[in-house]
A and B are shown apart, each in its own frame.
Chain A
Amino acid sequence: MLSIQDLEKIAVQVRRDIVRMVNGASSGHPGGPLGCADFLVALYFKIMKPDPQQFTMDGAGEDLFFLSNGHLSALWYSVLARYGFFDTSELATFRKLGTRLQGHPATCEGLPGIRMSSGSLGQGLSVSIGAALSKKLNSDEHLVYCLLGDGELEEGQNWEAMMFAAGHKVDNLIAVIDCNGIQIDGPTDKVMPLGDIPAKFEAFGWKVLTMYGNDMTEVVDTLKKAQWYTLQGQPVVIVMTTHMGFGVDFMLDNHEWHGVFPNDEQTKTALAQLNETLGDY
């Protein structure tokens, strides 16, 4: 069984992968992926623990994860590769012609681990509800997880989905909102104030938990707690505070690192702050 320290080691390597992938592609999004690395490592390695050899599109009899904010693709690809869905050497193809690792996640390339294309924001929560309803119809008691960005909540479809999930008691669903307070054009408070996100979910009828997403112990504990609240008549949301760019000092909390790649010099500086714990791809 993996300890918290083991998970932290994986997360550091995933952060290295993210920086190297985005640098290697000369394009991509480093900020959000660095901030959510702890969460996604915990979810795959400690909570969902899927069988990477038995990937099926239907995902019967296993927990499912959907990435709604598809621009966190570098993070997802690294976690999938480190978990064993495909060889880590493939991470070097990120965003390059002919790759299965498209700029935003795609199903058409047949990359194991991915069940829905995403990138155009605001659709993942609805998709996750659909998958959760399917599980209920199939008497499959496994759960559906979905990661969304806080800026993404500006898309109105999320509020349609929030209404539906509570109204239809979709209680086999755990949504996680990455609240780093930053979007492309600047702080969310300036671009479009989101107000009290936990209160809004609560008002819509969700069970709301909060956590700090850059502390592995807290992430694992809160995910376990969220699991406990499922199947009790309410959808569950974890409002997760993170730091965009976590692990790389010059990217920390800086909206300019949303969708900009680090040059070779910056990459060197960044990698000096992230130990190579599992071996680079």
Chain B
Amino acid sequence: MTEYKNLGSKDTRSGFGEGLAELGRQNPNVVALCADLTGSLKMDAFARDFPERFFQVGIAEANMISIAAGMTIGGKIPYTGTFANFSTGRVYDQIRQSVAYSEKNVKICASHAGITLGEDGATHQIMEDIGLMKMLPNMTVINPCDFNQTKAATLAIADYQGPVYLRFGRPKWPNFTPLGQPFIIGKALLLNEGADVSIFATGHLVWNALQACQVLEEQGIHAEIIDIHTIKPLDEEAILASVRKTGCVVSAEEHLRNGGLGDSIAQLLARNHPAPMEMVAVNDQFGQSGKPEELLKKYGLDVPDIVAAALKAISRK
């Protein structure tokens, strides 16, 4: 299988911060808004280097989203930053009316998504956000897998005209995609070719899927690993082509099963090419406090869970 090395673990939110600072230098229309989480979102460099284009709104996320929507009138490209929970659930109606329905060029950048937020517990561990955002017409939903990809995505969405939800996380996580790899919105990334099972993963779990691939390889099973960094629009062609080849599917994500990547893939397959499918995701429950690695294990998102799901999917062929 294709070898992927951890180039040194880094948090994906820092990839966002680096990308944003670079955008500040590249594009004078990029502005940033933050709701009292500048350090957590790694927006400090942008705030320091471009103070006239950085807007601290305080703990007032609804106001932040609507201000961002207003700033697009006049040609600005606003990047809003707060935790994923406060970027989506808390401000759903503001996003729905003033961003998605109004087709405004706002980039909603959300950190601390998913269970790997860890010790802060369920109030902050949102695992419904992909579902909330993908349900909105006009919304693009992106969940990059590592530092380099998050940075690349942060840069790429500035060149795309329209609302975007960019989701990333808190913990240091293996960084393995090549630095400077171009990010193409809506284009699935084939990481390993295989003929026995298609594993579609998004966000942090792409790394887990690669680990699972190795374990499966040792058992003589060749898994195809595809990074679905863009959940909407979904790369339907790539997914269908892979499943036509392998005949069975595993999805893996740090999100609820309801509304997540797996649910999008299942819809696609049901309409076009039904195939046995297993979903590695959290099933209809809230998280709890704990260390990220403990939580991944507890909620069935770890490497052995993906291996087991792959074996089960293959057995159902």
| Residues of A close to B53: CB separation below 8 A | 137
A27 beta carbon closer than 8 Å to chain B: no
Within the complex, the shortest CB–CB distance from B313 to chain A, in Å, comes to: 41
A163 beta carbon closer than 8 Å to chain B: yes
A-contacting 9-mer, from B58-66, B165-173, B245-253, B293-301: B58-66
A118 beta carbon closer than 8 Å to chain B: yes
Pairwise interchain contact B102-A130, C-beta atoms closer than 8 A: no
Pairwise interchain contact A57-B98, C-beta atoms closer than 8 A: no
Pairwise interchain contact B70-A128, C-beta atoms closer than 8 A: yes
B195 beta carbon closer than 8 Å to chain A: no
Cα A115 to Cα B70 with chains together (Å)? 9
Pairwise interchain contact A157-B31, C-beta atoms closer than 8 A: no
Pairwise interchain contact B62-A107, C-beta atoms closer than 8 A: no
Which A132-168 residues have C-beta < 8 A from chain B? 132-135, 137-138, 140, 156-157, 160-161, 163-164, 167-168
Residue in chain A with minimal CB distance to B62: A157
Within the complex, the shortest CB–CB distance from A66 to chain B, in Å, comes to: 8
| Residues of B close to A274: CB separation below 8 A | none
The 10 closest A-B pairs by CB, nearest first: A130-B70, A134-B74, A126-B66, A160-B63, A160-B60, A127-B70, A130-B67, A130-B71, A131-B70, A157-B62
Cα A184 to Cα B178 with chains together (Å)? 58
Interface size on A, residues (CB 8 A): 39
Residue in chain B with minimal CB distance to A118: B97
> Interface digits, B46-59 against A, CB 8 Å rule (1 contact, 0 not)?
00000011010110
Pairwise interchain contact A116-B70, C-beta atoms closer than 8 A: yes
| Residues of A close to B104: CB separation below 8 A | 116
What's the dominant secondary structure at chain B's contact region? helix
| Residues of B close to A120: CB separation below 8 A | 93, 96-97
Which A81-122 residues have C-beta < 8 A from chain B? 106-108, 115-120, 122
Pairwise interchain contact B66-A127, C-beta atoms closer than 8 A: yes
| Residues of A close to B52: CB separation below 8 A | 137
Residue in chain A with minimal CB distance to B138: A108
- Decide: A116 near B57, CB < 8 A? Known: A57-B73, A123-B94, A157-B66: no
Which B242-301 residues have C-beta < 8 A from chain A? none
- Decide: A163 near B60, CB < 8 A? Known: A119-B97, A123-B94: yes
23 intermolecular pairs with C-beta atoms under 8 Å apart = A57-B73, A58-B74, A59-B74, A60-B74, A116-B102, A117-B101, A118-B97, A120-B96, A120-B97, A123-B62, A126-B70, A127-B67, A129-B67, A129-B70, A130-B69, A130-B78, A132-B70, A134-B73, A134-B75, A137-B52, A160-B62, A161-B63, A163-B58
Residue in chain A with minimal CB distance to B57: A164
Contact of B62 among A59, A126, A134 (CB under 8 A): A126
| Residues of B close to A160: CB separation below 8 A | 57-58, 60, 62-63
| Residues of A close to B236: CB separation below 8 A | none
B68 beta carbon closer than 8 Å to chain A: yes
Pairwise interchain contact B101-A106, C-beta atoms closer than 8 A: yes
| Residues of B close to A66: CB separation below 8 A | 70
Within the complex, the shortest CB–CB distance from B226 to chain A, in Å, comes to: 33
Residue in chain B with minimal CB distance to A104: B97
Residue in chain B with minimal CB distance to A70: B97
Cα A132 to Cα B94 with chains together (Å)? 18
Pairwise interchain contact A133-B71, C-beta atoms closer than 8 A: yes
